[in-house]
């Protein structure tokens, strides 16, 4: 009976996290309000192990949405720079980055609950303490829960490319999004993006270059893949298939 109650509790917790990212928005006259979100919500089976990891370790590793800025110094217990990653997938590379860089704090946002559970499990396995996880729309987190000039950097690796031309407007990398990120960055804070879609890389370059507060660190548009960005399984497979990858690294003036 106790095991069944725990299973029910875990399912409810995971379902609640999922609902925070799929609530529809409507105008005052009842029409659906379309806006650019930081994600596409896809179905995926959350294993019992992942559910258990979320329930057991959320108090230590998870952060919930709030409409006031996070107190990062209280959350992490120090004033080290906070690096935000949007869309970390299953979280392996994010956890490895956090483990390799104890001089930084990492904050990951992902709406795919199996990925959240897997990331927490790996963080526990690696005994990582400088990482916190959020399961919510990143644009709302940036707007409401991140103070201006409070981030040391932003990482956006392999976001949904929306490869059809008619869907390009749904891509997260648009001028308003970049302007919002810049507002949240500290002076000399960075924006690091990577994609395996050349067309999206060109759009990223155009949008980032157009922001007057950003400087490109690459002498010729893109940088080689830096050693500090772990090679993901997805990216390694792309290399084997001959796919290109484009990294962009900009600094806030």
Encoded tokens for 12: 């409810």
Q: Which DSSP string corresponds to 124-155?
A: HHTT--SEEEE-S-HHHHHHHHS-TT-EEEEE
User: Would you say 139 is a known binding-site residue?
Assistant: no
* DSSP conformational letter for 223: B
Residue 126 is assigned to a ligand binding site: no
Q: Which of 79, 160, 227, 247 is catalytic?
A: 160
Q: Which two tokens stand for residue 127?
A: 């005994």
Q: Is 2 annotated as a binding residue?
A: no
Bridge partners, residue 83, by sequence: 106, 153
Alpha helices, DSSP H, located in 20-112: 48-61, 72-76, 92-100
Is residue 137 annotated as involved in ligand binding? yes
Q: Is 232 annotated as a binding residue?
A: yes
96 labelled as ligand-binding? Answer: no
- Going by C-alpha positions, the residue among 125, 137, 135, 134 that lies closest to residue 53 is 125
Residue 235 among known ligand-binding residues = yes
Residues 248 and 212: their CA atoms lie apart, in Å, by 16
The yes-or-no answer on residue 48 being catalytic is no
Tell me how far apart the alpha carbons of residues 54 and 61 are, in angstroms, rounded to a whole number.
9
Q: Is 160 annotated as a binding residue?
A: yes
> What are the strands, taking DSSP E only, across the chain?
62-63, 82-86, 105-109, 131-134, 151-157, 185-195, 214-216, 246-252
For the chain, how many residues are written?
A: 253
Pick out the residues of the known binding site for S-adenosyl-L-methionine: 85, 110, 137, 160
Binding residues for substrate are 164, 196, 232-235
Catalytic residues: 160
Binding residues: 85, 110, 137, 160, 164, 196, 232-235
């Amino acid at each position: 009976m106790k095991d069944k109650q725990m299973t029910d509790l875990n399912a409810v917790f995971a379902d609640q996290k999922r609902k925070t990212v799929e609530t529809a928005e409507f105008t005052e006259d009842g029409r659906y309000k379309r806006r650019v979100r930081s994600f596409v919500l896809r179905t995926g089976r959350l294993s019992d192990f992942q559910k258990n990891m979320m329930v057991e370790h959320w108090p230590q590793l998870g952060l919930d949405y709030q409409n006031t800025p996070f107190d990062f110094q209280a959350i992490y217990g120090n004033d080290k720079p906070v690096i935000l990653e949007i869309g970390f997938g299953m979280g392996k590379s994010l956890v490895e980055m956090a483990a390799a860089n104890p001089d930084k704090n990492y904050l990951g946002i992902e709406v795919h609950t199996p990925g959240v559970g897997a990331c927490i499990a790996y963080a526990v396995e690696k005994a990582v303490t400088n990482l916190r996880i959020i399961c919510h729309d990143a644009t709302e987190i940036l707007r409401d829960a991140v103070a201006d000039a409070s981030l040391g950097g932003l990482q956006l690796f392999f976001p949904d490319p929306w490869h059809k031309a008619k869907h390009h407007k749904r891509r997260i990398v648009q001028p308003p999004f970049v302007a919002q990120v810049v507002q949240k960055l500290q002076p000399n804070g960075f924006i690091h993006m990577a994609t395996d879609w050349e067309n999206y890389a060109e759009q990223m370059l155009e949008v980032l270059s157009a922001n007057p507060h950003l400087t490109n660190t690459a002498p010729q548009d893109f940088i080689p893949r830096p050693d500090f960005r772990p090679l993901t399984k997805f990216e390694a497979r792309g290399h084997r298939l001959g796919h290109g990858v484009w990294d962009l690294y900009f600094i806030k003036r």
